[in-house]
Chains A and B, each alone.
Chain A
Amino acid sequence: MRRRSRYHNGGDGEGTSDIKPRLWVLGVFVLIFFAALVLRLWYLQIIRGSYYRELSESNRVRIINIRPPRGVLFDRNGMPIAANTPSYTITFTPEDAKKTPGVREGLARILGISIGELDRKIQAEGNRNPYQPVRIKENASFAEVSEVEANKNDLPGVMVQVELRRFYPYGEFAAHAIGYIGKITPEQQETEEFQGLPPDFLIGQYGIEKAFDRTIRGEPGRKGVEVDAMGRHIRLLYTTEPVAGEDLVLTLDYKAQKAAEAGLEGKAGAIVALDPNNGEVLAMASRPGFDPNIFPLGLNADEWRYLTQDEGHPLNNRALQGQFPPGSTFKLAMSLAGLETGKASLTKSESCGGSFFFGNRTFHCWNKKGHGTVALHKAIVESCDVYFYKLGDAMGIDNIAKYCRYLGLGTETGVGLREKPGLIPSTEWKEKVRHDKWYAGETISCSIGQGYVSVTPIQLARMAATITNGGVLYQPQVVRAIKYKDERGTMFFPPVVLGNLPVNKANLEIIRDGMRGVVEEPGGTAHGAKSEYVTVGGKTGTAQVIGLGKGGGKKFGDHAWFVAVAPVENPKIAVCVLVEHGGHGGSAAAPLAKQVIEAYLRVDEESRKEKETMANRTGIKAKAMANTTGAATRKRAMQNRSAAAKQGASR
């Protein structure tokens, strides 16, 4: 009956007195849980509120970097040779596509690439911020863009933007000088110069684009776009406009450059043209070449292989980085050294029987029959090897090296682009580097620009300029001016004089006359450079290629050189032409120099004539303009006049 006693009887059984204390316990439980919830809310909303606020912002805002227009590069006459053009870019934010299957597949199909390739492009941007759109396809075609737009709802995270793209209207034109742009490399991201730039920002990676990057790159802008959870654009939140880079006026002359490149078409080699009076680079061509337009778009495998593995080394700027034995062009430096040391003169003659014996070796003249009696002028004009063997032997290598240094050979010119120094040997050099003493026999081959001697084409062009401009050694320049968009206006770079040759000016005249003879006189080696239009002076060179065909034992032809100035009396242009394996300088290189000279000087001549005509007309200008001259002529006259005015301002 124990159990019975537990039951309340009657009305008491309906009582709730036993329940009441237990309700307190339940109430306390509820309070504890509610307190926990409030504490948790306090933690999330108050203590970590700003952290979660940031997370919610990065959830909804996609920051799209707007590329600034890079500064336009003009040739010296104001023709744009590196510009910007609007193009479509397709971007993709992988985080926005996570909840929709098939986005990557769809995008890859539209772009005609494999999924693997797409993933590589995404991963290439290693340290991008989450939710940062990745540029998948730049310069997308209209068909690709319309297909993306048509399938917008199935492609969350995929966006199309119109942005300015670097554009080189003439493709390969002056590519080595202008260079190209590309993404900031991981190594560059470490450096201070590129801090704060978006990871997919394009910077100059080669040539002038690289050397002047800070000036022409501009500042990126930003666009904040609100998106929803499906990656769809809801609205534009804000825009910070990019700041355009400054424009540059290059020293390059479109016509001279064009002529140089036409001459090298299908060949390997380089042409450099300088203004002897200030060191400005009028043309800088190197072949084989490349199209800089392809770099910012990302290279495909074939392009990459061609650019990096082709044995023609298309990326190599031979004008600055090609180190070759100068061959007989070196005789100009030899002549200066000989005249200055008194070992050579217009009257002091040697005899050439076709060869020269030194020690137990025979050194041949290129003319096996010999040149007979030879003094300096004839030696230059006919390029007599024996004369210079003897001269070199008489002077010794260190005298040669001394005058080469004055002329800027065997050292970087300071043009501001990546270049190689070449080499002018000396006894000191041999001891230091080769740990050996200099043998007099080695001087003999150096005397005709072989042996250890190596130079770059730009060094030879400058040597010709320095000899014929009265002995001023200029630092070559590729940029004439920065055209600032603000009140600074156009700022010109003054010529940089590195030194004045400590030589007798009369000796320079003797060499210049020799150069004239090379082209103009009977017996001269470079009749191919003779122009009906202007007196050209120069020096040929045929550099023997020894040991280059190593391994396969492949025979290579000699390198053909020609250095030239024109007009000889008062040079306005100095040119150096190198044609690799081209054969004789006189036949393979000299005609190319002539073409560059004529292309450049004719323009000058034309504009001078136009200027005179314009001056004559000033009085009756309006009438003359309305007169018989065709519209096209008038237009050209106006252009030339403005070009002339620009030049006038620079001096």
Chain B
Amino acid sequence: MIDKRTMARLDWGMLTALAALVAVGLTAVFSATYTMDRGRHVLFMHQVYWLVLGLAAMVTMVIVDYKRLERWGYVLYGAAVIMLIAVLAVGRTGMGAQRWLPLGPLSFQPSEIAKLFMVIALAKFFSEDRITDGHMLRELIKPALMVIVPVALVVKQPDLGTALMFLFILCAMAAAAGIKIRSLIYLIGTFAVTTPLAAEFLWGHLKDYQKKRLLVFLSPDIDPSGAGYHIIQSKIAVGSGSLLGKGFLNGTQSQLSFLPERHTDFIFSVISEEWGFVGSVFVLALYLFIILWGLDTAYKAKDRFGSMLAVGVVAMISFYVIINVGMTVGIMPVVGVPLPLISYGGTSAVTTLVAFGILFNVNRRRFKLFY
């Protein structure tokens, strides 16, 4: 199935950017786990194994025609919902939330996989409804219901960040599939009216630490050693990196453990501290390149399904990056989302690489001629 033409149609620029991101990620994980691993690099090697697994999965995704995904779309959706129910039933608890599902010696986060399956299912839905001149509100009820189920399950874990991500992905894909201007106005109006009410209702159902995070985002100084600690220490780490950074393994905030969750959610702070403004912007530029390349893929896709698939993947990556980086620099609330391909975490790495595999797949099959 892999022939010379297939190889020739792979985008080497995109591959280079992806490889660069993986390299940056491994470097950052190496540094962030350096102190806690006391030089044994256990966590670092874990990440390497997961990335190898992810690369294999990605190659598989490039080879398999994405049309098959369309066929299996709703099945995958069903599988995602079942996994999310399973995680609530038998999942492993970590850091105050039930997020992991055991799989042999390993454990994984079904919510990460569910996001990708959701994208596939929504792409199938929006390509099959064949509405090209904008959806009306009632035509959006079905996809909304499709999303509400996993969102509710994820909120139950509780994992607010991932729940928000589902909603954002829905919004982005619906926007790409088209919404009627009048519907959009209705939507925004309803949203404006119901948000305060919903917020009031939600507030009562939030966990204490979630309430704190939101309050602290608004004003980190109210609890500098408690909930505000993450934000304050992260800003110190980022800011103290200055233009060129303190150098690899020389970030005092990172290496002396002032920065919490530095190998997962706050890994961007480690990069910022050790590599400075230059390093941070370089990483953002890599992401931007990949995102624009993904949009280009959606633009040139030969069919609606492929285009919607690309839009979903791009939306997923974009939101991750924007929310995660925004959180580490103190302009977004602290919600636990990883930085794709850089944060330590196997499921996220594999899922992201699979998503990129899908993008490559859509990208190389964009010419009907060769199909």
In the complex, how many angstroms separate the beta carbon of A56 from the nearest chain B beta carbon? 4
B236 touches A60 (CB 8 A): no
Does the CB pair B253–A45 fall under 8 Å? no
- B158 beta carbon closer than 8 Å to chain A: no
State the interface size on chain B (CB cutoff 8 A). Answer: 56
CA distance A31 to B35 in the complex (A): 36
Say how far B294's CB is from chain A's closest CB, in angstroms.
Answer: 10
The answer to whether residues A44 and B176 also contact, given A7-B131, A27-B295, A30-B318 and a CB cut-off of 8 A, is no
Mark each residue of chain B from 279 to 307: 1 if its CB lies under 8 Å from any CB of chain A, else 0. Answer: 01100100110011001001101111001
- Distance A23 CA – B284 CA, assembled complex (angstroms): 20
Contact A22 to B277, CB < 8 A, known contacts A48-B239, A230-B257: no
B132 lies within 8 A of chain A by Cβ: yes
Q: Is A40 located at the chain interface by the 8 A CB criterion?
A: yes
**Minimal beta-carbon separation of B300 from chain A (angstroms):** 9
Interface flags for B232-263 (1: CB within 8 Å of A; 0: not) read 01011111111100000000110011100000
Whole-angstrom distance from the CB of B291 to the nearest CB of chain A? 6
Residue of B nearest to A60 (CB): B252
Chain A residues in 8 Å Cβ range of B172: 26
Instruction: Check if B242 sits within 8 Å of A50, measured CB to CB.
Output: yes
In the complex, the chain A residue whose C-beta lies closest to that of B127 is A14
A36 at the interface (CB under 8 A from B): yes
For A53, the chain B residues whose CB sits under 8 A away are 239-240, 242
Q: Is B311 an interface residue (CB 8 A)?
A: yes
In contact, B243 and A45 (Cβ under 8 angstroms): yes
**CB distance B256 to A52 under 8 Å?**
no
Q: Which residue on chain B has the smallest CB distance to residue A47?
A: B239
A51 and B284 contacting across the interface, CB-CB below 8 Å: no
CA distance in complex: A6, B135 (Å):
10
- Among B132, B292, B304, chain A packs the most CB atoms within 10 A around the CB of B132
Chain A residues near B292 (CB, 8 Å)? 27, 30
Stretch of B20-28, B78-86, B210-218, B321-329 lying at the A interface: B321-329
The A interface, classified by DSSP as helix, strand, loop or mixed, is helix
Partner of A19, one of B176, B240, B315: B176
Residue in A16, A41, A49, A99 whose CB lies within 8 Å of B304: A16
> Min CB distance, B301 to chain A, in Å?
6
Q: B178 in the interface, Cβ–Cβ < 8 Å?
A: yes
- Judge if B51 is at the interface, Cβ distance under 8 Å: no
A399 close to chain B: CB less than 8 A:
no
CB atoms of A56 and B240 under 8 A apart: yes
Chain A CB within 8 A of B194 CB: no
Closest to B259 in A: A229
Pick from A20, A23, A38: contact of B281, CB under 8 Å: A38
Complex interface: chain A residues within 8 A of B177 (CB): 19
Is there an interface contact between A46 and B242, defined as CB atoms closer than 8 Å?
A: yes
Least Cβ distance of A226 to chain B in Å? 7
A59 interface residue (CB < 8 Å to B): yes
| Bound-complex Cα distance A14 to B132 (A) | 10
- A3 to chain B: closest residue by CB: B131
Q: Are A18 and B132 in contact (CB under 8 A)?
A: yes
- In the bound complex, CA of A14 to CA of B306 (Å): 10
Q: In the complex, A407→B133 CA distance in Å?
A: 116
Judging by beta carbons under 8 Å apart, are A6 and B256 in contact? no
The reply to whether A37 and B242 form a contact with Cβ atoms under 8 Å apart is no
Residues A34 and B238 in contact, CB atoms below 8 Å apart: no
Shortest B278–chain A CB gap in Å is 9
**Assembled-state Cα–Cα distance A430/B175 (Å):** 102
Residues of A within 8 Å of B, CB-based: how many?
Answer: 49
Cα–Cα distance between A57 and B35 once the two chains are bound (Å): 18
Closest to A27 in B: B295
Chain A residues near B281 (CB-CB < 8 A): 38, 41
Shortest C-beta distance, B295 to chain A (Å), equals 5
Contact call A6/B329, Cβ cutoff below 8 A: no
- What are the residues of chain B within 8 A of A51 when measuring CB–CB? 239
Do B239 and A52 touch across chains, with their CB atoms under 8 A apart?
yes
Q: Does A368 contact B (CB under 8 A)?
A: no
Known: A7-B130, A16-B303. A59 touches B258 (CB 8 A): yes
Q: Which one of B276, B301, B325, B330 lies within 8 Å of A45 (CB-CB)?
A: B276
Note all chain A residues with C-beta closer than 8 A to B284.
Answer: 34, 37-38, 41
Q: At the interface, yes or no: A489 with Cβ under 8 Å from chain B? A: no
A28 → B minimal CB distance (Å) = 10
Q: Which among A16, A26, A45 is the interface contact of B242 at CB below 8 angstroms?
A: A45
| Distance between Cα atoms of A88 and B124 in the complex (Å) | 74
* A1-39 CB contacts (< 8 Å) to partner B: 6-8, 13-20, 22-23, 25-27, 30-31, 33-34, 36-38
Check if B331 is an interface residue, CB within 8 A of chain A.
yes
* B240 contacts across to A, CB distance below 8 A: 49, 52-53, 55-56
Q: Does B225 touch A at the CB level, under 8 Å?
A: yes
- For B133, give its contact among A18, A23, A48 (CB under 8 Å): A18
Q: Which residues of B contact A234 (CB under 8 A)?
A: 256
Contact indicator A229/B258 (Cβ below 8 Å): yes
Asked whether, in the complex, the Cβ of B277 is within 8 Å of the Cβ of A45, the reply is yes
User: Which A residues between 210 and 232 are near B, CB-CB below 8 angstroms?
Assistant: 226-230
B272 within 8 A of A: yes
Is A49 in contact with B242, judged by CB distance below 8 angstroms? Answer: yes
Chain A nearest CB, measured from B229 CB (Å): 8
The answer to whether residues A42 and B277 also contact, given A8-B132, A14-B303, A18-B133 and a CB cut-off of 8 A, is yes
Q: Which residues of A sit under 8 angstroms from B318, Cβ to Cβ?
A: 30, 33
Q: How far is the CA of A594 from the CA of B108 in the complex (A)?
A: 95
CA distance in complex: A33, B315 (Å): 13
Chain B residues whose CB sits within 8 angstroms of the CB of A33 once the complex forms: 318, 322, 326
Which of A14, A26, A36 is B176 in contact with, Cβ under 8 Å?
A26
Contact B272 A41 (CB under 8 A): yes
Min CB distance B136 to A, Å, is: 10
The answer to the question of A120 belonging to the interface, with a C-beta cut-off of 8 Å to chain B, is no
B298: which of A15, A23, A55, A57 is its contact (CB, 8 Å)? A23
Q: How long is the Cα–Cα vector from A86 to B252 in the complex, in angstroms?
A: 34
Contacts of B301 in A (CB 8 A): 16
Q: Whose C-beta in chain B lies nearest to the C-beta of A95?
A: B225
A98 within 8 A of B: yes
- Residue from B130, B257, B295, B301 with most neighbouring chain A CB atoms (10 Å): B130
A99 to B223, CA, bound (A): 13
Contacts of B311 in A (CB 8 A): 19, 23, 26
Nearest CB in chain A: distance from B37 CB, A: 15
User: Is B242's CB under 8 angstroms from A30's CB?
Assistant: no
- Complex contacts, B131 vs chain A, CB 8 Å: 6-7
Q: A8's contact among B130, B237, B276, B326, by CB below 8 Å, is which?
A: B130
Min CB distance B183 to A, Å, is 14
- CB <8 Å contact, B225 and A98: yes
Q: Please name the residue on chain A nearest to B307 by beta carbon.
A: A16
Instruction: List the B side residues contacting A36 at CB < 8 Å.
Output: 326, 331
Provide the residues of chain A in CB contact with B295, threshold 8 Å: 23, 26-27, 30
Q: Which residues of the partner chain B approach A16 to less than 8 Å between Cβ atoms?
A: 298-299, 301-304, 307
Which residues does chain A contribute within 8 Å of B287, judged by CB atoms?
Answer: 34
Give the distance in Å from the alpha carbon of A334 to the alpha carbon of B210 in the complex: 90
| Min C-beta distance of B169 to chain A, whole Å | 12
Structural contact, A45 and B238, CB atoms closer than 8 A: yes
Q: How far is the CA of A56 from the CA of B246 in the complex (A)?
A: 11
| Listed residue (B240, B311, B331) with the most chain A CB atoms within 10 angstroms of its CB | B240
21 contacts between A and B (CB under 8 A): A19-B307, A19-B308, A20-B299, A22-B178, A40-B329, A41-B284, A45-B242, A46-B242, A46-B277, A48-B239, A49-B243, A50-B242, A52-B235, A53-B239, A53-B242, A55-B239, A56-B240, A56-B252, A59-B233, A60-B253, A229-B258
Question: A36-B326, A45-B239 are known contacts; what are 9 more A-B pairs with Cβ within 8 Å?
Answer: A15-B304, A16-B304, A26-B315, A30-B292, A37-B326, A41-B277, A52-B240, A56-B258, A229-B257
B residues in contact (CB < 8 Å) with A: 35, 130-133, 172, 175-178, 225, 233, 235-243, 252-253, 256-258, 272-273, 276-277, 280-281, 284, 287-288, 291-292, 295, 298-299, 301-304, 307-308, 311, 314-315, 318, 322, 325-326, 329-331
* 3 pairs of A and B residues whose beta carbons are closest in the complex: A52-B239, A49-B242, A56-B240
